[in-house]
Amino acid sequence: MNEGEYLELADQFKEIMNNKDNEIKKLYEEKKELKKILMMAYSFVRILDELIADDFSQPNILVNVLEILRGFLSSAMDKYIFNEDINE
């Protein structure tokens, strides 16, 4: 392999690495946005749950669905935001 071929391979490798770095940065930003959305959804469900917890005029199904959703989002928060293993 001569010097020109070596430089061409190095340039190709550099381009591949730059593309991979850009992909990683994009995925990191997407992950950060999804975490924000998850935290906001959990906050909204928690507020709704607190608001209707003492309101006995609400249908039981609504209360049950909110409790299930709150539990699901809470588990997701522990796993994806706080990086806790649920099985610990």
Tokens of 38: 């998850």
C-alpha distance from residue 7 to each of 12, 15, 45 (Å): 9, 12, 57
- This prediction has a pTM of 0.74
| Selection from 46, 39, 47 nearest residue 76 by Cα | 39
C-alpha distance from residue 11 to each of 7, 20, 49 (Å): 6, 14, 57
Taking only the tens of pLDDT, the chain with its 88 residues reads 788 898 999 999 999 999 999 999 999 999 999 999 999 999 999 998 888 877 778 788 888 888 899 999 999 999 988 888 766 5
Amino acid letter, 5:
E
Measured distance CA(36)–CA(40) in Å, rounded: 6
